[in-house]
Amino acid sequence: MRGSVSVPYREVMLVAPADTRNETPDEREDRRLIELLQELRVAGLGVQVLFGFLLALPFTTRFGSASSWQRHLYEATLIIAAIATALLLGPVAYHRMVFRRQMKHDLVRAANVMAIAGLAAVGLAITGAVLLVTSFVEPGAPAIIITTAMAGLYAGLWFVLPLVRRGQQEQRGPG
């Protein structure tokens, strides 16, 4: 392996691509898991607050005046928020189930996929909630414009910008 020295039962990375940490593969997996779990704490809390808001919404007096399409939007948004919650909490459950089974690499890979899918679901759920609320406050074009702007903001900041930067970095190469 380029850039590493093999030691029995332990591989020490001298220089990882685009990374100057001097850590073993186990140390790298530990760090990646800790970073991921910290990110999931923030995202998980946000989606849980949104989910709680959505669960309480039908019990408000104004919800009774919701149109048929607003009720369908509400149901879809509630389901997407539930899916986001499952995806963002999934890595925690996975970790508990494989704890001390030398499966950290598998855990980090699966948790990464769940986190990305969970963020996409959170973005959709927030967009749905924005459309639902704005359709009550400013129905018609203003609701659509505001919701479209919010969807673009989330898509741009959470997916487009990081993927563009990643592509630029990959074209430049390591170092």
What are the domain boundaries of the chain? Answer: 24-169
Look at 2-16, 48-62, 144-158 and tell me which has the smallest mean pLDDT. Answer: 2-16
pLDDT, tens only, 88-122 = 999 988 888 887 777 788 888 999 999 999 999 99
pTM score? 0.77
The pLDDT value given to residue 16: 39
Mean pLDDT for the stretch of residues 63-71: 93
DSSP-derived secondary structure for the chain = -TTEEEETTEEEES-BTTB-----HHHHHHHHHHHHHHHHHHHHHHHHHHHHHHHHGGGSTGGGG--HHHHHHHHHHHHHHHHHHHHHHHHHHHHHHHTTSS-HHHHHHHHHHHHHHHHHHHHHHHHHHHHHHHHHHSTTHHHHHHHHHHHHHHHIIIIIHHHHHHHHHHHH---
Percentage above 90 pLDDT, the chain:
50
pLDDT higher at 4 or 128:
128
